[in-house]
Amino acid sequence: MTEFKRIMVINTGWSDDYSTRDPVGNFANLDHATGHEKFNFRRGRDGLYYGYVPPRRESPPKPKEPSGWLVFAVSKRKNEAGMVLVGWYENARFLGEYRERPDADDLGPDSNGNPFYYTFVADRATMIPLPMRQWKVDGTYIGRPFNYLRGNGEGTPQTEAMARQLLQFREECLKNIITGAKKPELDLTPSDMDSRRRREIELKAEDAVKLHFSDWNCERVADEKCGYDLKFTHPESGQELHVEVKGTAADYPQFFITHKEYRYAEEKSVNDNKSKQSKSSLPRWRLAVVHDVYGDSTVNIYTFDEMKNIFEILPYAYRGMLRNA
């Protein structure tokens, strides 16, 4: 298990997706205003995550060392005891103040007409899909908006115990987010449904992804068999996203990926690690998994590294060839 020297837990409003729905929960302000954690797991155009933490005594988190934090987000589900782990951020950096999100213009105003704010930025983030949210901690200690568990000179046996518990939950989640005990068996495999239904699911998924990137120009290249389905170009920056689209009728993310698609994703993944100066001129690959296509059509966007970390990629079929042929 990776050793994390700085760990924080934040108590945030509950949201099914932290992208489209207003948070709800046990904070008084959520009864009459939109919580700014609404977009906490929405990736910015620069590939970073901008997180909001409710203030404590009218102040945002101000850790002694602002960088290098592992931040766990927990929330209270309505009518249930305990706090549920909804996700986490890695290598987070705290600002010590609230700032307007770089993408605030895209998100529109909150319920009071103000822009959305953030107080930390992170390189990586993992939001636990709604059906997989099964890890709970005792909410007795987490009554405050945020708590330092490790690395800020305030550690106690209780905070260290909670840090270890959350770290264990993180490991379990990464291993079981697709194959966990509460996950039902795969609902549909390529041999289980006819081509018409497969096509219908594919098109529904594509429509949902186009709506997700509605402020980008879109070109459909799926029929060209080039390794991805949709090419998005930002009208201002010229940035290109090569998006492989996967759809499922299940209520959690799952997908099949061909060898060609995987190799293309792996090839283009190096562009995410290029310097910021060169990123804008290089296409970046993204996986868009749309689950519940016949219901809410929830869109989940992953980089290649996130796909490998979150999903267990297993061989679905093997090819048999004559030896020495």
Distance in angstroms (rounded) separating the CA atoms of residues 113 and 108: 8
Tokens representing residue 4 in the block: 């994390």
Q: Is 79 left (phi over 0), alpha (psi -120 to 50) or beta?
A: left
State residue 203 phi and psi, 5-degree precision.
-70, -35
pTM of model > 0.75? no
**pLDDT of the residue at 182:** 39
- Spatial separation of the C-alpha atoms in residues 264 and 24, rounded to whole Å: 40
Would strands 146-150 and 83-100 be described as parallel, antiparallel, or unpaired? unpaired
- Write the DSSP string, 8-44: EEEE--B-SSSSSSPPBSS-GGGGTS--GGGGTTPBP
For residue 124, give the amino acid letter.
R
- Please provide residue 207's backbone torsions phi and psi, each rounded to the nearest 5 degrees: -60, -40
In this structure, how many other beta carbons lie within 10 angstroms of the beta carbon of residue 46? 14
Contact 251, 291 (CB under 8 A): yes
Read off the DSSP letter of residue 181. Answer: T
Listed by start position, the domains of the chain span 7-176, 195-310
What local confidence, expressed as pLDDT, does residue 174 receive?
Answer: 81
pLDDT in tens, the chain (325 residues): 567 999 999 988 888 777 766 665 554 444 444 566 888 888 887 888 999 988 888 888 899 999 999 999 998 877 777 889 999 999 999 999 999 988 878 877 776 778 888 999 998 888 887 778 889 888 766 667 888 999 888 778 888 999 999 999 998 888 765 444 333 333 444 444 456 778 888 999 999 999 999 999 999 999 888 999 999 999 998 999 999 999 988 777 888 898 899 999 999 988 886 654 455 568 899 999 998 888 888 899 999 988 887 887 877 666 787 887 5
Backbone Cα Rg of the chain: 21
pLDDT at 32: 47
Q: Is 224 exposed, middle or buried (0-12, 13-18, 19+ CB in 10 A)?
A: exposed
- DSSP helix/strand/coil, 324: coil
Q: Which parts of 101-208 are beta strand (E)?
A: 117-127, 136-137, 146-150
Distance separating alpha carbons of residues 248 and 184, to the nearest angstrom: 13
Fold for the domain defined by 195-310: Trna Endonuclease; Chain: A, domain 1 (3.40.1350)
C-alpha distances out from residue 9 to 73, 85, 193, 213, Å: 6, 10, 43, 31
